[in-house]
Amino acid sequence: MAHDLEKNGPLDGPADRHEDINGDDKKLERTETLTDVKWTFTRIIAFISLCLVYVGAQVILYMTGGTLSYIGPSIHSNFANWLLTANTLAVTAVVPFVGYITDLLGRRYVAIFGSFLLVIASIVQATAKTLGSSVTAQALGGIGAGICELTALAGVAEITPVRWRGVTIAIVTFSILPFIPYILYIGELHAHSTWRWALGIAAIWNGIGTIGIILAYHPPPRHNTDGLSNMDILKRIDYGGAFLSITGVTLFLVGIQYGGYQVPWKSAKALAPMIIGILLIIAFAFYEAFVPKHPMVPAEIFTGQRVVLIAYIVVFIAGMEFYSVLGFFPLMLQDLWVASPGLTGARGFGYPMAILTGACVVSSLLSYSRGHVRELFAVSAILMTAFAGALASATPFNPTRSTIFATLSSLGIGGIIVPALTVALYASPDNYIGTTAALSLAVRFLGGSVGTTIYYNIFNNNYKKKFPAYVAQAVIKAGLPESEVPTFIQTLAANPAAVLKLPGVTMQIFQAGVLQAQWALADSLRGVWYASIAIGSIGVIASLFLPNIRRYMTNRVAVDLH
């Protein structure tokens, strides 16, 4: 008779994975004292090195994003935004296959390769003189980032006791703290040296992490390939699944990046890759279910329990919400409220710090929750949704209140976006930790890409109408001749500092135009925040279906280090 894992516990793994959900506390505590892991010097260095490459995977993207306004003129291009697109595309496309490969062949050499790519990518970007070399650097960096973020999370998860995965992944996440003020670092580097040193720092950081991985990270060989020759191992690789997933995801993301940004949605340049990508992703799902003997996405990850699937749904929604705040709150900081650079920087410090705090606190609480994760995720999802929606009340005159709302929403986002991965890893079979982590990261990036497309199109469609209408009405009322209005609007949109040089423009007219431009921005963003309520509500509902995961929370260690 088939086992119901929701009631009877998992079929895989040692016997200390308890079946009692509601809890025999003494029984669990007795078991946890039997297999306490020894933190040797090598294990500590390996843990630190995995933290370094995890941070390094984020830093190259942060530093590039923060220096785009400097990179564009340096490489003589108006398309510097494609650097971020290249990085995201590479991460999302390769991560599922990398997780599968590391579960099949092991993580050590894949981790070394990924961290080496991060070093090379940082150096190439730091010295780039053309758009081509910059895009190449970001593509390499995206592949390296996907490998290292995945390897760090999966590697830490499997070398620490299962019960304490929440705490250890919280520590990994918290290690990004030195780079939270990266905007300040970039400003200082640009003022006193060059923006290129921002990528130089990323190269040095990743170089140190690479050395640590080489010296200390020696997980045992995977048992998945015991008794197999190299040729047998090569035959096991799911090449068809890799092709369908990488090609499908890449084409889909290229399509949604084009649509509404550079070409209309009805254009073949947007529709063709998006539709083909969707068809390939559907084909991938059917192929994985019926064709390969050793698929990229094994059914065992989902069989008999709903934890992993619901965690993926929640992290997809959190990814969409994450990009609403990440993409549009900085726009509010820069253009909705007039403030000194220092005050703008202070307001901008709260929301990334809140994301980090939420991720670390909730991940840590998972280890002490006795399996009651539903409550943690429901509270986080409500925070995320309610306060993102509250940003619809933002105006040019309430920056403090709006900043508080963005910070509280970010606290909820952080409480989901990393902990959802942690919950999935609790329930994952040991043989598929890498695949489980990889799919979680891919789902998060897909959610972010889909969310960005939805939000941007809502904002762009509103702003194209409201900006000229609001500004024209205000400046005409302030005394600007109607014949000068089109020039005023075009100049205000492109270079506000040049508006006062236009004939007939007084300070009163200028201020009236700027204020209405701010109101146009606030009113256009309102649709984004309303949409985030609908999307976030799905996350709240999904989180309520998370079961108790107590039976997975033991001191069992998936692998030991040699």
- What DSSP assignment string belongs to 229-256? -HHHHHHHS-HHHHHHHHHHHHHHHHHH
**C-alpha span between 532 and 413 (Å, rounded):** 12
**pLDDT given at position 26:** 44
Q: Which of 1-15, 198-212, 367-381 has the lowest mean pLDDT?
A: 1-15
Residues 158 and 275 in one domain: no
**Residue 149 within a domain:** yes
- State what percent of residues in the chain have pLDDT above 70: 86
- Do residues 122 and 206 lie in contact, with contact meaning Cβ atoms separated by under 8 Å? yes
Residue 115 φ/ψ, nearest 5 degrees: -65, -35
Residue 228 φ/ψ, nearest 5 degrees: -105, 140
Q: Which of 199, 224, 249 is the last residue of a domain?
A: 224
pTM listed for this prediction: 0.75
Which domain, by its residues, includes 140?
A: 38-224
Residues 288, 293, 295, 300: what is their CA dihedral angle, to the nearest 10 degrees?
A: 100
**Residue 167 within a domain:** yes
**pLDDT given at position 221:** 65
Residues 188 and 272 in one domain: no
For residue 161, list its beta bridge partners: 557
Residues 134 and 212 in one domain: yes
CATH number, domain at 217? 1.20.1250.20
**Residue 434 within a domain:** no
**Residue 46 within a domain:** yes
Residues 170 and 65 in one domain: yes
Residues 162 and 274 in one domain: no
**C-alpha span between 376 and 544 (Å, rounded):** 10
Q: 32: pLDDT confidence band, cut at 50, 70 and 90?
A: very low
**C-alpha span between 193 and 196 (Å, rounded):** 9
**C-alpha span between 562 and 560 (Å, rounded):** 7
**C-alpha span between 266 and 270 (Å, rounded):** 7
Residues 215 and 258 in one domain: no
Residues 255 and 134 in one domain: no
- Do residues 83 and 64 lie in contact, with contact meaning Cβ atoms separated by under 8 Å? yes
Q: Which of 62-71, 159-168, 211-220, 509-518 has the lowest mean pLDDT?
A: 159-168
What total number of domains does the chain contain? 3
The structure tokens listed for 506 are 């007084």
Average pLDDT, the chain: 80
**Residue 415 within a domain:** no
DSSP H helices, 367-398, are 373-390
**Residue 69 within a domain:** yes
**Residue 111 within a domain:** yes
Q: What does the pLDDT look like over 167-212, one tens digit per residue? A: 777 788 888 888 888 877 887 888 788 889 999 999 999 999 999 9
DSSP 8-state symbol, 210: H
Residues 207 and 118 in one domain: yes
- Do residues 149 and 141 lie in contact, with contact meaning Cβ atoms separated by under 8 Å? no
Overall average pLDDT of the 89-101 stretch = 77
Among 371, 442, 431, 361, smallest CA distance to 94 is for 442
Residue keyed to tokens 């510097």: 80
- Do residues 491 and 437 lie in contact, with contact meaning Cβ atoms separated by under 8 Å? no
Residues 85 and 162 in one domain: yes
Residues 107 and 147 in one domain: yes
Residues 216 and 282 in one domain: no
Residues 76 and 169 in one domain: yes
**Residue 120 within a domain:** yes
Taking residue 349's Cβ as centre, other Cβ atoms within 10 Å add up to 16
Whether 560 has a pLDDT exceeding 60, the answer reads no
**pLDDT given at position 466:** 92
